[in-house]
């Protein structure tokens, strides 16, 4: 492909590693003992609620925040004590952060000038970067003459043109409207694949994380609670938090009894996954789309439909069991049938889909 040939960022793929990093703001611990690594050419999402420390972790990689403990390496280089301007990073910000007093071309050329690249060589690189983000011919515009999506593309071109060792994205799409955001996700993914840049992406949007990443690290209260391939985390969440934050989940609490889980009302739920010791309390997570309306399944539960949400392709039912446990059920909208509110139904699911999670 043409764009492939012209790809401005052909820097060797770089490995990024974080070793036992900790950070406190005052007395408040923001990150505790984070050790993780980002494989060369991988796209990793740091996913977590606000205050989870995901942005701080990204800013530690960027160099805006110095960790209290631990080391950061980019490639073979320990950059823990290297200031931001010496790290060769490409960064995108939520607010675009274009230089408002410079034309698009000068914005993109800014990083090249800092590297002593000027004149024809710089102009060529700027042209290629703008082509890559499909903004050829926009070089003379001022940022305020561009739409939000276009500004974000300029920011991406500006970050790519310097052939960074690592691409750091701080919720870059959250200021865009939904349609534009999806469009930019596709672009971002295409460009990341073309350039092969190791990419770290901060987001609180689980859908975005699932769509874009080949690895997700879920953060909560300054710790990585689970990291892995999106499908692995989705199918096998290890904690209640991970199950809840990535996707939706139903939770049933009970105690381990003879290789199964006995709920409060006496119902026994089978699981195909290893359980803790006999008699200990346990929580099972079951994805709402993995339940079905059936009377013949290994696990059955009756519940009353409280609310029906018609979302087009999917029907969401909010249910309540007799003992007051709230459940969600997602059914594909196959033939337009909508079960009425108030009806009591029998839910069934396979032991494979009941995942024991830590609280």
Query: Is 50 one of the binding residues for other proteins (CB under 8 A)?
Result: no
Q: Which of 133, 162, 329, 347 binds other proteins (CB under 8 A)?
A: 162
Q: Is residue 57 a contact residue for other proteins (CB under 8 A)?
A: no
- Alpha helix (H) ranges present in 206-268? 206-212, 230-235, 240-245
Site stretch for other proteins (CB under 8 A), options 41-49, 80-88, 118-126, 184-192: 80-88
C-alpha span between 327 and 252 (Å, rounded): 9
Among 35, 81, 100, 272, binds other proteins (CB under 8 A): 100
Size of the site for other proteins (CB under 8 A): 30
Q: Give every strand in the sheet of 166-170, ordered side by side.
A: 89-92, 166-170, 198-203, 43-47, 215-220, 223-228
Q: Which of 79, 92, 90 is nearest to 21 (CA)?
A: 79
Question: Angle at Cα 348 formed by Cα 344 and Cα 354, nearest 5°?
Answer: 130
Q: What is the DSSP letter of 335?
A: S
Relative to beta strand 28-38, strand 16-25 is antiparallel
Q: Interaction with other proteins in 141-160: which residues (CB under 8 A)?
A: 144, 155, 158-159
Residues 201 and 211: their CA atoms lie apart, in Å, by 12
Using the rule CB under 8 A, is 178 a contact of other proteins? Answer: no
Q: How far is the C-alpha of 210 from the C-alpha of 213, rounded, in Å?
A: 6
Q: Round to whole Å and give the CA distance between 31 and 20.
A: 10
Among 8, 48, 75, 90, which residue interacts with other proteins (rule: CB under 8 A)?
90
Contacting residue, 2, 76, 85, 335, with other proteins by CB under 8 A: 85
Helix axes 104-114, 119-132, angle to 10 degrees: 120
Contact between 306 and other proteins by CB under 8 A: the answer reads no
Instruction: Tell me the closest approach of the beta carbon of residue 61 to other proteins, in angstroms.
Output: 11
Site for other proteins in 196-215 (CB under 8 A): none
Nearer to other proteins, 84 or 268 (CB): 84
Of 113-142, which residues contact other proteins (CB under 8 A)? 114-115
Binding residue for other proteins, selected from 36, 40, 80, 93, defined by CB under 8 A:
93
Could you say whether residue 88 binds other proteins (CB under 8 A)? yes
- DSSP annotation of 214: S
Tell whether residue 25 is a contact of other proteins (CB under 8 A). no
Residue window 232-261: x/- pattern of binding to other proteins, with contact defined by CB under 8 A: ------------------------------
Q: Closest separation between CB of residue 30 and other proteins, Å?
A: 18
Distance CA 22, CA 94 (A): 25
Choose which of 49, 68, 99, 193 interacts with other proteins (CB under 8 A): 99
d(CA 136, CA 130): 5
Q: Which residues of the chain form contacts with other proteins (CB under 8 A)?
A: 62, 64, 83-91, 93-101, 110-111, 114-115, 144, 155, 158-159, 162, 168
């Amino acid at each position: 492909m043409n764009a492939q040939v012209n790809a401005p960022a052909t820097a060797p793929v770089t490995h990024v590693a974080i070793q036992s990093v900790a950070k406190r703001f005052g007395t408040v611990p923001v990150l505790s003992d984070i050790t993780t690594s980002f494989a060369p050419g991988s796209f990793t999402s740091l996913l977590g609620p606000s205050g989870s420390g995901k942005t701080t972790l990204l800013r530690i990689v960027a160099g805006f925040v110095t960790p209290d403990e631990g080391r950061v390496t980019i490639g073979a280089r320990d950059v823990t004590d290297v200031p931001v301007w010496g790290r060769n990073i490409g960064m995108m910000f939520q607010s675009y952060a274009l230089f408002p007093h410079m034309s698009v071309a000068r914005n993109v050329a800014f990083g090249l000038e800092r590297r002593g690249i000027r004149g024809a060589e710089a102009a060529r690189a700027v042209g290629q970067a703008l082509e890559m983000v499909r903004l050829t011919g926009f070089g003379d515009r001022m940022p305020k003459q561009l739409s939000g999506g276009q500004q974000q593309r300029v920011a991406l071109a500006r970050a790519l043109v310097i052939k960074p060792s690592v691409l750091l994205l701080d919720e870059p799409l959250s200021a865009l409207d939904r349609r534009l955001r999806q469009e930019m996700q596709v672009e971002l993914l295409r460009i990341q694949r073309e350039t092969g840049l190791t990419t770290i992406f901060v987001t609180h949007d689980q859908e975005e994380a699932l769509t874009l990443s080949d690895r997700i690290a879920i953060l909560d209260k300054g710790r990585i609670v689970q990291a892995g391939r999106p499908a692995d985390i989705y199918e096998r969440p290890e904690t209640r938090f991970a199950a809840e934050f990535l996707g939706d989940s139903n939770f049933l609490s009970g105690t381990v009894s003879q290789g199964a889980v006995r709920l409060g009302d006496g119902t026994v739920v089978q699981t195909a996954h290893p359980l803790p010791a006999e008699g200990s309390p346990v929580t099972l997570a079951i994805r709402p789309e993995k339940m079905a309306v059936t009377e013949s399944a290994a696990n059955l539960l009756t519940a009353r439909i409280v609310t029906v949400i018609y979302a087009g392709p999917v029907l969401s039912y909010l249910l309540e069991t007799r003992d007051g446990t709230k459940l969600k059920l997602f059914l594909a909208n196959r033939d337009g049938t909508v079960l009425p509110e108030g009806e009591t139904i029998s839910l069934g699911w396979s032991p494979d889909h009941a995942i024991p999670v830590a609280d």
